[in-house]
Structure 1
Amino acid sequence: LSFGARIGERLREAGHAAEVEAQDEQLHRPGGASVTLVLASRQAKVDRAFAERFPRVQTKRVSSSSGAGHLLGRAAADRSALGGRGVGGGGPALPPG
């Protein structure tokens, strides 16, 4: 539970940072579509595609009582790559098979 919650937090943080960066870029190169309008249009497309693909998705409440599990889940989420640079190639590749 905490793994998924933390991944969600990280994705929201990354999304906000990308939006701020895009708005800053727009200030330096005006004339294009508004970042807010572009993001709203993309979000609407994503929402429609999601609803078509997963028509029966429902929100559920869940609970957890393991404090250690909560901390370990958050720590694992913080170590997870979310589309940035992957693991460096510092070691030898594994042999095939």
Structure 2
Amino acid sequence: MVTVTYYCPRCEAIAELERDAYLADKCVTPDPLDGWEYANAYDELEESEGVEIVCGASETRGEGCGQPYYLSFVKFHEGEEVDPRLPLSDVSFDFTR
């Protein structure tokens, strides 16, 4: 297990999730991707396609804004990566900030 941090796309509060290192992050968005199913941040993440994080919940450092946001993992269908077809302006790839 590794601890990974994510920024809320609305208020930039930091959330920490403990998860398996093999899960590949796709993006963090303020809204869920069409066709992705999201687990709660406190559920087992290995079988999920992403995680719904509530900014300000126990995994958040500080208060946060109280709004949900979504971490999506890379997803495959018939051996091909699924493209969510989101406008690039709606997606954050900065996981190291």
Is this a same-fold pair by TM over 0.5? no
Larger radius of gyration: 1
Which one has a larger percent helix, Structure 1 or Structure 2? 1
Taking CA–CA contacts closer than 8 Å with sequence separation of 6 or more, which of the two structures ends up with the larger relative contact order? 1
User: TM-score normalized by structure 2?
Assistant: 0.19
